Amino acid sequence: MKSLAKTNAMLASDTFKDKTVLITGGATGLGFSMGKMLLELGANLCIMSRKQESLESAKKELQSAGSGSIWIHTCDVRDSKEVETAIAYFIKQAGEIDALVNNAAGNFIAPTASLSHNAFDAVLDIVLKGSKNCTMTLGKHWIASGAQHKTILNIVTTYASTGSAFVVPSAMAKAGVLAMTRSLAVEWAKYGIRQVAIAPGPFPTEGAWERLFPGGLDKKLGVINKIPLKRPGDHRELANLASYLLSDYAAYINGEVITIDGGEWLQGAGEMNFLLQLTDEQWASLRPSS
Ligand code: HXC
Ligand code: NAP
C-alpha cells in the first residue's frame, strides 16, 4: 500500500528554542531520528549510550540538523551512579534539562524457558531499571530545584499492554515503564512534570531488526501482513508524534500512551479479524440465498 505519510517536521522551527532534551540511546535508530527532528525544531540535545564511538558519529551526523548544542556522554543506564554522573554533566553543560526521553532498550526473541537469569536480567535491567534510574535522577533534581514545565516521554511497545510470547523480559519491563508513566503522571503533576508514552509498532531499525527478525525472519514470515496499513512506520512519523508530545501543544496530555502501529495490535486482537483472508468470491458464496 502506498504510504501517504508526511515526513516534514509538523511543528514550527522554534518550538523547542532554548529547550534541552535528553534522549537515552539517542545515537541510533528511533532515538537518533527523534533527536534529529528536535534539533530541526530548535532544541539542544543531550544523548547517551554505552558506546563513545557511536555517540561521536551520531553527533557529527546530527550537527547539520539545527543550530542547537549537542552534548554526548557514555552511560550504561543500568548503573545508577553512571546515570547520575551523565545527568550532572549534561546539566552543567546545558544549564538545565527540560525533557527526558527514556528510549534506550535491549531486546531479543527467544523461547522464555531457554533464557538464563542473566539473559532475562539483561533486558529487564536496561528497560525497567534504566528508565527508573533516569526518571528518578532527573525527577529528583527537578523537584529539588522547583523546576516547572518538564516532560518525561517513555518509549514502550504495544505489547506493554497486551503482553507477548517470545519477548517476555521486554514485555514485563515495558509494562513496568507504562505503569511508571501512569503512576507518576498523578504523583508528579504538582511539580509541573508531565508523563507521556509512545507505543510504536514496527519501525525498521538495525538494532531491532537484527534481534527480532534474525536471518530475514520478517520476510520469511510475512510480518508486513500483520499490519492493516501493510507497511512499517516511518521514523519521521514517530519523531513528529514525539515532538508534539514533548511540546507545550500537548501541555494537557498527562499519563497517556499513544499507539503508532498502523493498526497492528488491533488486527491481532479482533475476534473475527482472521476473516481478512476470505476473498470476495468466498464472501459471496457464504451469503444466505433469500
Ligand atoms: C538468548 C541471549 C541472546 C539471544 C543475549 N543473550 N542475546 N540469550 N537469545 N538472542 C544472553 C547472553 O547469552 C547472556 O546470558 C545475556 O543475554 C547477556 O548478554 P550480553 O551480550 O552479555 O549482554 P549485554 O552486552 O548487556 O547486551 C544486552 C542485550 C543486547 C540486550 C543482550 O542485545 C543489546 O545490547 N541490546 C541493545 C539494543 C537492542 O536490543 N535494541 C533493540 C530494541 S528493539 P548468559 O547466561 O550467557 O550470560 C525493541 C522493539 C520492541 O525493544 C518491539 C518491536 C515491535
Ligand atoms: P536501537 O537502535 O537498538 O536503540 C536502542 C538504543 O539503546 C541504542 O542506541 C543503544 O545504544 C541504547 N542502549 C542499549 N542498552 C543501553 C544501556 N544499558 N545503557 C545506555 N544505552 C543503552 O533500537 P530502536 O529500534 O531504535 O529502539 C528504540 C526504542 O524504541 C526502544 O525503547 C525500543 O524498545 C522501542 N521500540 C522500537 C520498535 C521498532 O520497531 N524499532 C518498536 C517498538 C518499540 P548502545 O548499544 O550504544 O548502548
The per-residue pLDDT for range 151-168, each reduced to its tens digit, is: 999 999 999 999 999 999
Q: At what angle do helices 117-124 and 168-187 cross, to 10 degrees?
A: 30
The per-residue pLDDT for range 238-250, each reduced to its tens digit, is: 999 999 999 999 9
Output the pLDDT for position 290. 77
Of all helices (H) and strands (E), which one includes residue 185? helix 168-187
Output the pLDDT for position 46. 98
Which fold is adopted by the domain 20-286? Rossmann fold (3.40.50)
Band (pLDDT 50/70/90 cuts) for residue 173 is very high
Strands 256-260 and 193-200, how do they pair? parallel
Cross-strand partners of 151: 99, 194
Q: Whose CA is nearest to atom 25 of ligand 1?
A: 122
4: pLDDT strictly greater than 90: no
As for ligand 1, residues whose beta carbon falls within 6 Å of it are: 105-108, 110, 116, 118-119, 122-123, 157, 170, 201-202, 207-208, 211-212
Integer CA distances (angstroms), 248 to 10, 26, 31, 151, in order: 14, 22, 20, 10
Instruction: Please state the rounded mean pLDDT for residues 93-120.
Output: 98
Residues with catalytic roles: 159
| Residue 247 in contact with ligand 2 by CB distance below 6 A | no
254: pLDDT strictly greater than 80: yes
Query: Hey, where are the domains in the chain?
Result: 20-286
Atom of ligand 2 nearest to the CA of 202: 40
List the grid coordinates of 166. 517470545
Instruction: Please state the rounded mean pLDDT for residues 62-66.
Output: 96
